[in-house]
Chain A
Amino acid sequence: MPMPASEIERLIKASIPDAEVTIRDLAGDGDHYAARVVSRRFEGMSRIRQHQAVYAALGGRVGGELHALQLETAVPQPETNQ
């Protein structure tokens, strides 16, 4: 079931307010998206936890209403000089 990219972005920002969200509609069908989410909140979280935070923001739609969402998460800038 198609879902507009703007709605995905709105949901993510509603729960992760500082998130920078970039969404690409991969197939042009409103059903296959790639999202990149950058937030300070992710600092110190494992990749799994970061993705879980985004899935939680989308409130159970991923895997159901939102079939295909490629996800990439990141922290804005590393605090340490690695």
Chain B
Amino acid sequence: MSDPQSRIADIVKNNDVVLFMKGTALFPQCGFSSRAVAILDRLGAKYETVDVLQDPEIRQGIKDFSDWPTIPQLYVKGEFVGGSDIMMEMFESGELQQLVGAEA
């Protein structure tokens, strides 16, 4: 199944914490993606990243998949959590720690 929606479903299913972002964790290509990575690093979370700039189908596909117009997008245990603003709010309230920490 190589259509983008199935590929994204697989990625989300097979990775407990996965960030769809522009660039890589080491070299984010956008301020919002950079902020998302910084939050996950601060939490000490183990996470995977998908660089949407390397794959136009995923770049558009993830927006359709989540019904969300922007990148980055965080998925935890198969559930869409939100973009970097929601990540920041949840980080500040301690919710994100709970969400990603629960797997440890």
Chain A residues with CB under 8 Å of chain B are: 47-48, 51-52, 55, 60, 62-64, 68, 70-72
Q: State in angstroms the CA–CA spacing of A51 and B82 once bound together.
A: 9
Number of A-B contacts (CB under 8 A): 32
Which residues of B are in contact with A by a Cβ distance under 8 Å? 31-32, 63, 67-71, 80-83, 85-86, 89-90
Name the distance in Å between B102's Cβ and chain A's nearest Cβ.
18
Chain B residues with CB under 8 Å of A68's CB are 31-32
Distance in Å from the Cβ of A37 to the closest Cβ of chain B? 11
Hey, which chain B residues are within 8 Å of A55, CB to CB? 68-69
Return the chain A residue nearest B86 by Cβ. Answer: A47
Report how far A46 CA is from B90 CA in the complex, Å.
Answer: 12
Could you list 20 A-B pairs, sorted by A, with CB under 8 Å?
Answer: A47-B82, A47-B89, A47-B90, A48-B68, A51-B68, A51-B82, A51-B83, A51-B85, A51-B86, A52-B68, A55-B69, A62-B69, A62-B70, A63-B63, A63-B69, A68-B31, A68-B32, A70-B85, A71-B85, A72-B85
User: Which residue of A is nearest B71, CB measured?
Assistant: A63
Q: Which residue of A lies closest to B63 (CB)?
A: A63
Contact B82 A48 (CB under 8 A): yes
Closest beta carbon of chain A to B20's beta carbon, Å: 13
CA distance A64 to B71 in the complex (A): 11
Q: How far is the CA of A55 from the CA of B81 in the complex (A)?
A: 16
- Shortest CB-to-CB span from B72 to chain A, Å, is 12
A48 adjacent to B80 (CB under 8 Å): yes
Q: Which residues of B contact A62 (CB under 8 A)?
A: 69-70
